[in-house]
Amino acid sequence: MAGDGILESTIVTKVAREEYDDHRYRGYSLFHELLGSETIASLLGLAISGRRLGPDETKMLDDLAVAVCVADPHIWLLKPTRIVAALGNTLPALAVGAVCMEDATLGPWTSVAAARLFVELSAIVERRRLDVAAVDAALDRIASNQSNKRVLPGFGVPLRETDERVVALRARVRSNGREHCPYWKLFERTATLLENERGLRPNIASAFAAVGLDLGFDPKQIGSLGASVALLGCFLPNAVEEAELQSATLRKIPRRFVRYRGQPPRVSPRHQGA
């Protein structure tokens, strides 16, 4: 019967349901429980994890979202958004930004690997002391899921001495009274160890991951969280602006800035024989 077929294909969702006078969202009444009390950041948290954050957690999430708003259009990961937006539309430009982020070795998604590292490291240091060998053991456990297997996710700062976002976030973690949360403490201990032993300083991926884990997100959710706040704070302003500007030099790089490095001119066998 047709009705039985529909039941077989029913998917259980915990996201939402529309109703006549109100809507259900992640188990809550949209208009009577969420409206008036949620911020964009806390709504993101609820959307991704299904868990409603308390006021202190929401404040930390707000700070996390702002701390990563480095939106300079020169940044390699932001430029695809700029290029697509130069064709006139905002949302495809955002879509290309989202697509470029997932599973990339650069950018917000690196916090997923950093979070996995901390989860493994946390389990390891329950049984032994935290040292470089423990960090390497944690890296071995997550390496099969990584494209670049020997890069320590969340550590190493290119082009400058320290990651200024980590400095800023650290201050906010203290200001929010969250410096004693377990993953943040592990992050700080690991950061000190790696700087002393390997000259590696933490980048924003590890700091973001630690805060995210302490807020109760799992590693993959941290990736969605990082991507979402990056889309809002970094990609969106670039998409909006460039959809207005529609710069010709983004649609087509001028000839004088292009260097062809492929095969030299040649003739195909069929053309030779013609």
Which residues of this chain interact with other proteins, rule CB under 8 A? 2, 5-6, 17-22, 24, 27-29, 32-33, 52, 72-74, 76-77, 79-80, 83-84, 86-89, 92, 95-96, 99-107, 147-148, 247, 249-255, 257-258, 262
Start-to-end Cα distance in the chain: 65
Q: How far is the CB of 209 from other proteins (least distance, A)?
A: 18
Nearer to other proteins, 42 or 190 (CB): 42
- Exposure of 242 in the CB half-sphere (CA atoms within 13 A): 31
Where do we find the tokens 């400058």? 160
What minimum distance in Å lies between the beta carbon of 20 and other proteins?
5
Determine the longest span between alpha carbons in the chain, in angstroms: 79
Shortest Cβ 107–other proteins spacing (Å): 6
Q: How many CB atoms lie within 10 A of CB 188?
A: 16
Nearer to other proteins, 104 or 137 (CB): 104
- For other proteins, the closer CB: 190 or 228: 228
Q: How far apart are CA 223 and CA 25, in angstroms?
A: 22
- Beta partners for 142? none
Please identify, using beta-carbon distances, which residue of 107 and 121 lies nearer to other proteins. Answer: 107
Q: How far is the CB of 138 from other proteins (least distance, A)?
A: 22
Residue 51, C-beta contacts closer than 8 angstroms, at least 6 positions apart: 45, 216
Q: Which residue's CB is nearer to other proteins, number 49 or number 190?
A: 49
- Smallest distance, other proteins to C-beta of residue 79, A: 5
State the burial class of residue 169 (Cβ atoms within 10 Å of its Cβ: 0-12, 13-18, 19+): buried
